Chain A
Amino acid sequence: MKRLIALPLKKSLEIAFQSIRVRFFRSLVTTTSLVLAVAFLCFMRCCNDFAQALLNAGDISAYQTLIKAGYDVGFGSDVIIASAKQRWIVTLSLLVCIVGIINAQLMSVTERFREIGTMKCLGALDRFIVRLFVLEALMQGLAGSLIGAVLGVLTALISSSFNLGAGIFQAFPWGLIGWSILISMLIGTGLSLAGVIYPAILAARMQPVEAMRLEQ
């Protein structure tokens, strides 16, 4: 007699994907806040990257352009550092985003009490339920971060080409931009996952008898 309860990863992915598809508009709204926050983060980073690239190009006129554009850089320095004000604004926007995600995920768990209870009646272990919610958040996080990062780069490109001139195209900092995209996506996905942990654990603790309840 095999005492085996399993939920293969492929099946979990399928279920998670279908869950998002069915509630597409709701997922869209949750993900949009993530897109915007990640776009903002990426925008900040990329603007600094372009400024850095200009500096690295070694052209003496770079300093003047940068100071005119508002960057804090004195003659002789060779690194663009994000100002404290920049950091604060970005951190705040990311915090607002994570609060929104936690809220949306809590609502999702509350709505799906019957589904969760039923799955447990069919033999699902607590960790399957957590897995499903985490996979959903992961998918939304990855998609949202990717879109956000791309948006951030594009707006940074447009903004920097106005502020810093065509010089940035000559010294296009592929490496730095790539790194910024990666960091932004990591942070965005991380936010999405962090926002789902508490609601997912709540969902997993739900008693199957909830599925029997007539009213909600």
Chain B
Amino acid sequence: MTEKIIVRVSGVTKDFDLGKIVVNVLKGIDLEIVEGKYLSIMGPSGSGKSTLFNMIGGLDKPTSGKVFIDEVDIAQLDAYELAWLRCRKIGYIFQTFNLIPVMTALENVTLPMTFAGVANDDAIEQGMALLRQVGLEGRHAHKPTELSGGQQQRVAVARALANSPAIVLADEPTGNLDLKTGEDIIDLLKELSSERKVTVISATHDYKMLNVSDQVIWIRDGRVEKIQERSELEISTGGLE
């Protein structure tokens, strides 16, 4: 069975020019991410984990090297195609939830669908279905300020899946949540991703993610330190019942 490589990172380096000094954040990364896996990128603060994450998500361009999403070099895409990629192929989940505060939960979930040209009625129907799946059907008319952190992140998960993307990128999704809520979100992500065959790539330093990951990529000092498959992981973390 040939596995499809959905993301290929090839010799990527990234330097940040901070005036007097140039910081080499990524020093040469080579990665191949197979479709349908749940992947965690782990590493200490300052290791380049977020920068690599931004590269994969098309939010930033590498100084050298290439990033291929579905065998398309994203540095060659124009603004229109990049917007299309972000709308249709990639779903984003942020640490700070990043819901649009002036819109209700349902409107937040249907916004990517609007950008994708989905008719209003269909969008509402699909949006409600997604909210039902994350358990927030009754709160669809509530604004983000009326929802708890965990609920906001659930809406964000629903939004990320709005246009049935191939990849979901989650940047520290549990960073602003307590232990139990974080676990719930991780389980939700795992469940939805295996159901919809979505590749989940999450940048994190939360060890709870390890439990559900198919593959863990350890980044240290701008390089890939090691890649561990699920079978190699030995996890023992205390949990709440």
Contact = CB atoms under 8 A, between A and B. Distances in A.
Interface string B89-119: 0001011101111110000000110111100
B101 A214 contact: no
Contacts of B79: 125-126
21 contacts: A5-B83, A5-B84, A5-B87, A7-B115, A18-B103, A114-B98, A115-B98, A115-B100, A115-B101, A118-B99, A120-B83, A121-B86, A122-B115, A123-B88, A124-B115, A125-B83, A207-B59, A207-B60, A208-B59, A212-B171, A214-B95
Contact of B100 (A4, A6, A118): A118
Q: Range of interface residues on chain A? A: 20 to 34
Contacts of A15: 102-103
A96 interface: no
B54 interface: yes
A85 interface: no
Interface string A99-134: 000000000000000110111111111101000000
Interface string A1-29: 01111111001000100110110000000
Summarize A's interface: helix, strand, loop or mixed: helix
A126 B102 CA distance: 20
Given A7-B114, A15-B103, A122-B115, A209 B86 contact: no
B94 A118 contact: yes
A210 to B, nearest CB: 9
Contacts, number: 86
Contact of A4 (B96, B103, B117): B117
Contacts of A5: 80, 83-84, 87, 115-117
A212 B114 contact: no
A124 B171 CA distance: 20
Given A6-B115, A22-B102, A122-B112, 7 more contacts: A2-B117, A5-B117, A6-B116, A11-B114, A114-B96, A119-B100, A122-B111
